[in-house]
Amino acid sequence: MRALGSSLVPALVAPLVIMLAAAGSQERIVNKGDADRIFGLTRPQWEAEAKQMVHPGGWKVRLNPVATGTGLMAFDPKTGTGLSVQPFFRDRQGPPEMLIVGSYFPAGTFREFSEQLKRDMEAAARSDLGPAYSVTISFSRMASPAPGLDVVEVIITRAP
């Protein structure tokens, strides 16, 4: 089994979690090398890797097969935090068109997710990824499952 620690998932998500938890820190949000790598995979290559991934911290890992490519979700029941990685493939031969990396936190973790924090995080991610990628960050609150979750998603596409 491939540990998430040596794969794309924690390289993209763990720094995001650290960044969010310490809002304003200079931690990397996204790793360019890993983004380059996943944008170089075909759907069958991603599917094979996703099936082998485990989280080194013992988080529960689940696969979510959908028409555009299998998503990977990991959840830590001890802290109520989670992460997801969802590439979106147009077909089986080409690379993904988009990658969404989600971080899930217990409801109320962010009393306020300001536009300034969003802009700062996007700027840091763009700086890390360089001109080859476009980045958008979104924030939402989910009511279910109770007691709810604060969700931050990093949406990555290749720049036009």
User: DSSP string covering 60-97, please?
Assistant: EEEEE--TT--EEEEEETTTTEEEEEEEEESSSSSPEE
User: For residue 74, what are its two tokens?
Assistant: 């990991």
Q: Say if pTM beats, i.e. exceeds, 0.75.
A: yes
More confident residue, 146 or 149: 149
How high is the pLDDT of residue 29?
Answer: 55
* Residue environment code for 32-56, b if the CB has 16+ CB neighbours within 10 A, otherwise e: bebbeebbebebeebbebbeebebe
pLDDT, tens digit, for every residue of 19-73?
Answer: 444 344 444 556 888 889 899 999 999 999 888 877 767 788 899 999 999 999 9
More confident residue, 54 or 3: 54
pLDDT band of residue 80 (cuts 50, 70, 90) is confident
As for how many domains the chain has, the answer is 1
Domain that holds residue 84: 2-158
pLDDT, tens digit, for every residue of 5-26?
Answer: 344 444 444 444 434 443 444 4
pLDDT, tens digit, for every residue of 119-137?
Answer: 998 998 898 899 999 999 9
How high is the pLDDT of residue 41?
Answer: 94
Strand partners of residue 102:
84, 153
Q: Return the beta strands (E) in the chain as ranges.
A: 2-3, 53-54, 60-64, 71-76, 81-89, 96-106, 133-142, 149-158
Q: Is the dihedral of CA 143, 114, 8, 47 positive or negative?
A: positive
